[in-house]
Structure 1
Amino acid sequence: MKLNCDVGESFAAWSMGCDEQIMPYLDMANIACGFHASDPDIMSRTVALAKAHRVSIGAHPGYADLQGFGRRSIAHTTAQITHLVLYQVGALQGICHLHQTRVDYIKPHGALYNDMMKDIQLYDAILKAAHILNLPLMILATQRSDYLQRAQHMNVELIHEGFADRRYDACGQLTPRSHTDAVIEDIEQFSLQASAIIGKQPFKSIDNKNIQLFADSLCLHGDNPSVQRYAQRLRQLIDDHQQ
């Protein structure tokens, strides 16, 4: 089990998250590519930070929505979605070349991620970009055979992701952030859900149904006010399970 986090989401003089404090706990860093957050200077600083801590670098492309932090869906054609992802990943690859490192995978951000998990054509458009770039794609841990088959057909490796700080519905989808209990803010409830996902054990959905996920990586959101404390707890839980 790997620990990943969305980082590099500051913009110019505006600061988001505490990347320097949490990077030592991470295995994978999902770095914003300038459309929902970040800018070239922030991208460069975050890549350098990830490299210094030997953390795998992932591109975190989103909709062109700085004001909405990429959490608003924007209509695109499938070709435009492919171009959107290629453009942003390419920008991060350029910054990585500067630091003599590389992008290891793609993880869409926010509404683009959610839309990918609901719209098979949008998913295909992102798969196409991942295939062109020969990069793995991170998606929500799911047993949907059509998603798995499409990735195999495109020869794209999937990284299945679980969330320790978000509530799920009974179908294994993330509860929309508009719901009052969508984000888990209690550290003990957070730990219980994380432990279940790490151990591939059932846990309760937001509607009190048992669900089970088979994830390769656990995500922690970098904009969580208690992210450093949560990162420490997740690192401990993952390390304890692997001993």
Structure 2
Amino acid sequence: MSRIDLNSDLGESFGQWRMGDDDAMLGLVTSANIACGFHAGDPAGMARTLAAAAEHGVTVGAHVSYPDLVGFGRRPIEIASDELRADVIYQIGALQGMAGAAGTAVRYVKPHGALYHAIAHDRRQADAVIEAIQAADASLVLMTLAGSPLNDWARDAGLATAAEAFADRAYHRDGRLVSRREAGAVLHDVDLVAERMLRLVRHGTLESVEGDEVAIAADSICVHGDSPGAIAMAQAVRERLLAAGVNLRAFVGTGSATSREPA
């Protein structure tokens, strides 16, 4: 039986500003990437999301970012390596403390936005993030963009990794995501997205915007929680996979983190 993890970026509300429907999404996903306050989120919101994740039995990870609240972490920053290491350690530590108080534990790290895309190919910044995870808790799994050099860099450094694909994003033939600045980068047809994800799980391929087949070896599928119709899309993906006999399961559970082969 095929298996896959469903993850979503949650805990991104800040003060009076509300982002997404965390409660609904936690009923659909198996892993939750929780904002640590640098691109979004605040302590009270982190606590609520962690408690809800624990109630739903959802595995939690630290969604670390550049220090960029105004830009929602989507602006590239040429940050010094020592500063980036410290920022990532700080965010992991903050979420670990909050998670312990909520009766759960942080099991993995998923960088957010511009940082996620930078370390997929920028060796200097990638090394800073890898070193930060090793310093904070070397048992944590690093979630990476499927097919990126970061997978090998992290594994060579001794970290476990989980490769990620995106349900609602278009891909180029070389496996790169289509930039959000380009038309068609974000997919909105829930039936199309659900069928694409079943194809990904069954065959390990997606159709690129150029019309070619692109191989994507993924351990987890991201269903974004902040886009219009996010809940309906996540529900459609979940139902389509379950109907086809796919086992939805977190890539790392409540025990110690371990690596595994892609689903």
Match for residue 108 of structure 1?
Answer: 111
TM-score by length of 2: 0.88
Name the SS for the 1:25 alignment partner: coil
Q: Is the 8 A contact 2:193 2:237 kept in 1?
A: no
Query: Taking CA–CA contacts closer than 8 Å with sequence separation of 6 or more, which of the two structures ends up with the larger relative contact order?
Result: 2
Richer in helix (by share): 1
2:129 to 123, 126, 130: 126
**Could you tell me how far 1:155 is from its partner in structure 2?**
1.2
Q: Paired residue for 1:161?
A: 164
2:119–2:126: 8 Å Cα contact kept in structure 1? yes
Match of 1:6?
A: 9
Q: Please state how far the C-alpha of 1:241 moved relative to its aligned partner.
A: 3.5
Q: CA deviation at 1:148?
A: 3.8
Alignment correspondent of 2:245 = 241
CA contact (8 A) 1:33 1:92 kept: yes
The corresponding residue for 1:83 is 86
Residues 200, 214 of structure 1: 8 Å contact kept: no
CA distance in 1, matches of 2:23, 2:204: 32
- Alpha-carbon distance in 2 for matches of 1:170, 1:126: 28
| Unaligned ranges ≥5, structure 1 | none
Identity %: 39
Report runs of 4+ in structure 1 exceeding 3 Å deviation. 146-149
Does the 8 A contact of 1:162 with 1:215 survive in 2?
Answer: yes
Q: Give 1:198-217 correspondences, 5 Å limit.
A: 198-217=201-220
Instruction: Report deviation, 1:170.
Output: 1.4
Provide the alpha-carbon RMSD of the alignment.
1.4
| 1:181 maps to 2:173 | no
Q: Choose the corresponding residue for 2:234, options 231, 234, 238.
A: 231
Mapped contact 2:54–2:103 kept (Cα < 8 A):
no
**Does 1:192 pair with 2:195?**
yes
What TM-score does the superposition give when structure 1 sets the normalisation length?
A: 0.95
1:35 pairs, out of 34, 38, 47, with: 38
Give yes or no for contact 2:121–2:150 (8 Å, CA) kept in 1.
Answer: no
Query: Deviation of residue 209 (structure 1)?
Result: 2.0
Counterpart position of 2:257 = none
Give the paired residue count: 241
